[in-house]
A = this chain, B = another copy of it.
Amino acid sequence: MTIKPYVRKAQFHETDQMGIIHHANYIKWFEEARVDFMEQIHYGYDRATEAGIDFAVLSASCEYKSMTRFNDTVAVECRITSMEPSRMSVLYRVLDVATGELRATGETRHCFYSRIRKRPVALKKELPELYDLFKSLAGPNETESK
C-alpha cells in the first residue's frame, strides 16, 4: 500500500505578523495528515472514535526548516515509526510542493484512550484490525528520512 502525502494550501488566517505561517499551525497540519492517512488505509479516524477509542497525544514536536507563506501548497508525509500494543509514534515531513524544499519535520506520540472506560487501553486488544494495519505499515525510523 502506497500512502500519498497530504496536500493542502497554507491559508491567510494561518499567517502571523511576521508574514509567515504561524508555527503552531504545523501541529494542526500533522493531525490533518494523520486523519488523511487513516482514510487512505480505509480505516477512518471517525470509525475508531465511533468505537469509543480516541487517539490521545502524548507528545508533539516540530523542527522548522524554512518558512511557509500564505498560498504555498505543502505536502505532509506521515509515517508510523513505532507501533506497540498501547503506543505509537508518527514522523512527519512537510515539503513545499512547488520547490520540493523541506519546510519542517516533526513527530507525535500517541496512546489510545477509551471513552467508555475512561482510561488508556491497548489498541491491540480494543481494535486488533486497526492495530495490525498500523503494524504492517510501520517502517524503520531511518535517520536519513528525518
> Taking beta carbons and an 8 Å cutoff, which residues of A are in contact with B?
9, 11-13, 15-20, 22-25, 27-28, 31-32, 35, 44-46, 49, 54, 56-64, 70-71, 113, 115
Contacts and interface: CB of A to CB of B under 8 A. Distances in A.
A127 B15 CA distance: 24
Contact of A17 (B9, B15, B23, B31): B15
User: How many copies of this chain does one complex carry?
Assistant: 4
Contacts of A35: 9, 11-12, 71
B13 A24 contact: yes
A138 to B, nearest CB: 22
29 contacts: A9-B35, A11-B28, A11-B35, A12-B17, A12-B45, A13-B16, A13-B24, A13-B28, A15-B17, A16-B17, A17-B19, A17-B20, A17-B49, A18-B56, A18-B113, A23-B57, A23-B60, A24-B25, A24-B27, A24-B28, A27-B60, A35-B71, A44-B71, A46-B70, A46-B71, A57-B64, A58-B63, A58-B64, A60-B64
